[in-house]
Structure 1
Amino acid sequence: MSNTNKLYVLIIGILVLTQSCRSLKNTTVESKSSEIILYQNGNEKIIPNGTKSIAINKDEFSLRFYNKKYNSETEKYYATQIGAFLELNDLEKIKVGMKTQDLPCFELGSGMAPDSSGKYESLIFNNSGHHYLNYENTDSKRLNLLGTEKEYRKLEFEIKRLYFDNKDIPMKEIELSAFYLAILIDENLNGIIDKDELTKLTVEIK
């Protein structure tokens, strides 16, 4: 084979390899499950990774996030699990690397039952339970569906009231200065809190 033909074959090989890598890159879906968004008074604000506290007004608000479709037929139980606490100490017990089964608030069976509407009508503070938030279809849902992005769905958990001390209190009447949230999205469904699956927040009420 002449040097010219060898060069031609080499160039073709490089082009094919480059195209293959580009195609592979295009088919990869970037995970969005660690992106948490605060929505209040018509404004949407992405909460940067690593954020430890956010501030809200005494108004209704929403938490928005991305997750894959909950599918009971294929046993792909993708859900967003949110624990709400009145004490910082309860939040600090939850750490990356732990098994959910070792945490009373996230262990199997600790998902709290929703209201008769099928959704949680209030944010419930419970050290031994969590809000089990999923969206399967229009008939089976605990969240609002805002849109889709490849295999992810943009979902919304509306919070209009807080429930604690056996009282259901509208946001406008809340006297708390702060509360604490643990937001867990077990994307690989392995029952372990892996890196980037847990968001812990102090929510300050202004």
Structure 2
Amino acid sequence: MNNTNKLHILIIGILVLTQSCKSLKNATNESKTAEITLYQNGNEKIIPKGTSSIAINKDQFSLRFYNKKYNSVTEKYYATQIGAFIDPNDLEKIKVGMKTQDLPCFELGSGMAPDTSGKYESLIFNNSGHHYLNYENSDSKRLNLLKTEKEYRKLEFEINRLYLNNKDVSMRETELSTFYLAILIDENLNGIIEKGELTKLTVDIK
């Protein structure tokens, strides 16, 4: 093998290694905010990517996910936005590639006000509003902080009650058998639903 061929092989090897490292880095970054877990009755289960439905017991549960710190000083408003629906058609309207401003449930100003505790005490079903979930510090929060990993925080949204048709009931008392969730984490804050930022779930209550 002459020196020219050796040089070509070396260059190709470097390019392949560089691309592999870049792909691994992108996969790692993507998996952090795309990872959503279900916590119920002391058990935590990762919701596999691409999953469209989950089953829960008729009891309180939590959704856990990663996001960056909400920072009102630097105007980095990192938040997890969750819409809850009874009609599957409302879920179907939300698609990757859309602008949040074109969706009544996610448009500017559609974040619903929390309870006096500063958190949402119930999961609210509203096809023209969403739960605006953020964590800035121990005094300004709508989520539980579970742990910090570099610039990311693992956060928890507890769901003990359901609010529907002006009635507030506990998970154990609900007559619902199915509802729908759209979970949006706009990591680059550009107002566009991009691949990896949206999780749509059908939730079956057993």
Normalised by the shorter chain, which TM-score bucket?
0.7 to 0.9
Q: 1:133: which partner in 2?
A: 133
1:118 counterpart residue number = 118
Distance 1:176 1:163 in 2: 11
Superposition deviation, residue 52 in structure 1: 0.4
The whole-number CA distance in structure 1 between the counterparts of 2:89 and 2:142 is: 28
Which residue is equivalent to 2:56?
Answer: 56
Q: Is residue 150 from structure 1 mapped to residue 150 from structure 2 by the alignment?
A: yes
Secondary structure of 1:154's aligned partner: strand
Give 1:30 shift. 2.3
SS in 2 for 1:147: strand
TM-score, structure 2 length as denominator? 0.87
Deviations 1:59-81 (A, max 9, x none): 00000000001001111000000
In the aligned structure 2, how far is the partner of 1:151 from the partner of 1:38? Answer: 22
Residue 30, structure 1, aligned to residue 34, structure 2: no
CA distance in 2 between partners of 1:155 and 1:171 (Å): 21
1:128 CA drift (Å): 0.5
Structure 1, residues 142-175: CA drift from partner, whole Å, max 9, x if none? 0000001121100000000000010001000111
Structure 1 residue identity aligned to 2:198: L
Structure 1 unpaired stretches of 5+: 1-9
Counterparts in 2 of 1:1-206, with a 5 A limit? 30-31=29-30, 32-206=32-206
What is the rounded CA distance, in whole Å, between the counterparts of 1:118 and 1:177 in structure 2?
29
* Unaligned stretches of 5+ residues in structure 2: 1-6
Match in the other structure for 2:3: none
Counterparts of 2:181 and 2:34 in 1: how far apart (Å)? 15
For 2:4, the equivalent position in structure 1 comes to: none
RMSD of the TM alignment (CA)? 2.2
- Secondary structure of 2:89 counterpart: helix
One-letter amino acid of the counterpart of residue 170, structure 1: S
Secondary structure at the counterpart of residue 132 of structure 1 = strand
**Counterpart of 1:89 in 2: which secondary structure?**
helix
Structure 1 ranges of 4+ moved more than 2 A: 24-31
The number of equivalent residue pairs is 191
* Secondary structure class of the residue paired with 2:128: coil
Q: Quick one: distance in 2 between partners of 1:170 and 1:189? A: 34
| One-letter code aligned to 1:34 | A
SS of residue matched to 1:30: helix
Amino acid at match of 1:82: I
Larger radius of gyration: 1
Q: Secondary structure at the match of 2:172?
A: helix
Structure 2 counterpart SS, 1:82? strand
